[in-house]
């Protein structure tokens, strides 16, 4: 079945460690996105990519990094520089970056202890 | 810059009464706008979308929204709320997928 897959669903890490969240889609979508969701703050855009080998910072990119080496994959690394990494992270993809419906993964809940 | 503003962080209604969730957008051109719903512990689901074909858009589960350029609004409505409508609702602009802050809808018996 076509879709977008995030793994793992729950992730625990010690403070000071980098951690990479996986996002894979088999929808042949050009655009992919990473969001962070905190209670009462909606979804805030971290990074987005309109096409393979290209990505742009969103509103809260500090402390995060991404790569887009393959069309189907858009991993997000939460670095030790991110001050408050504990959150729910959502990945999305859309056929293009403008005016097309996005499909969302089920999310990864990251807890840093 | 383009943005969407959801005017209410929480809305509470009684079952069977109308629902109104408000969204305003700011853009130098007519954007494509969407409403998504997120039920507790579930993923985001598309409710409806406006892409300039018609100003009144009908979505799933009895929801609809009207695009009003003069008011820069795209409010979500439903004539009669059901308990299962309790969720968080997001207004989204489809240029770089910009989300509003969300409105949590509570439905009381």
**Predicted confidence (pLDDT) per residue in B5-46, tens digit:** 999 999 999 999 999 999 999 876 667 889 999 988 777 889
Q: How confident is the model at residue B2 (pLDDT cuts 50, 70, 90)?
A: low
Q: How confident is the model at residue B73 (pLDDT cuts 50, 70, 90)?
A: very high
Q: Which of the residues in chain A have pLDDT under 70?
A: 1-2, 99
Transcribe A1-62 into DSSP letters.
---EEEE-SEEEE-TT--EEEEEEE-S--SEEEEEEE-TTS-EEEEEEEEETTEEEE-TT-T
CA dist B9 to A29, A52, B38, Å?
Answer: 32, 36, 14
Q: How confident is the model at residue B47 (pLDDT cuts 50, 70, 90)?
A: very high
pLDDT of residue A1: 58
pLDDT of residue B93: 85
The rounded distance, in Å, linking the Cα atoms of A32 and A49 is 5
Residues of A in contact with B47 (CB under 8 A): none
Residues of B in contact with A41 (CB under 8 A): 101
User: Per the CB < 8 Å rule, is A42 touching B94?
Assistant: no
pLDDT of residue A55: 96
pLDDT of residue A2: 67
pLDDT of residue B15: 97
Mean pLDDT, residues B60-72 taken together: 93
User: Per the CB < 8 Å rule, is A43 touching B32?
Assistant: no
Name beta bridge partners: A35: A45, A90
| CB contacts < 8 A (A, B) | 51
User: Per the CB < 8 Å rule, is B99 touching A98?
Assistant: no
Q: How confident is the model at residue B56 (pLDDT cuts 50, 70, 90)?
A: very high
User: Per the CB < 8 Å rule, is A98 touching B94?
Assistant: yes
pLDDT of residue B1: 60
What tokens does A56 get? 């742009």
User: Per the CB < 8 Å rule, is B9 touching A97?
Assistant: no
> What's the gap in Å between the CA of A35 and the closest CA on chain B?
10
pLDDT of residue B5: 92
Residues 6 or more apart in contact with residue B29 via CB below 8 angstroms: none
């Amino acid at each position: 079945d076509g879709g977008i897959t995030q793994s793992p669903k729950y992730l625990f890490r010690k403070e000071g460690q980098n951690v990479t969240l996986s996002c894979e889609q088999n929808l042949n979508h050009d655009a992919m996105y990473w969001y962070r969701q905190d209670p009462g703050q909606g979804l805030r855009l971290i990074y987005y990519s309109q096409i393979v080998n290209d990505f742009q910072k969103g509103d809260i990119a500090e402390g995060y990094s991404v790569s887009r080496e393959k069309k189907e994959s858009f991993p997000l690394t939460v670095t030790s520089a991110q001050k408050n990494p504990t959150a729910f992270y959502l990945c999305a993809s859309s056929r293009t970056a403008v005016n097309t419906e996005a499909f969302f993964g089920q999310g990864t809940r990251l807890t840093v202890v | 810059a383009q943005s969407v503003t959801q005017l209410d962080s929480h809305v509470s209604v009684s079952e069977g009464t109308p629902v109104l969730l408000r969204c305003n957008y700011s853009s130098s051109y007519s954007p494509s706008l969407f409403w998504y719903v997120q039920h507790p512990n579930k993923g985001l689901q598309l409710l409806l979308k406006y892409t300039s074909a018609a100003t009144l858009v009908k979505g799933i589960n009895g929801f609809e929204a009207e695009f009003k350029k003069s008011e820069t609004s795209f409010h979500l409505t439903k004539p009669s709320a059901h308990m299962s409508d309790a969720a968080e609702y997001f207004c989204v602009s489809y240029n770089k997928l910009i989300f509003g802050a969300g409105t949590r809808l509570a439905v009381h018996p």
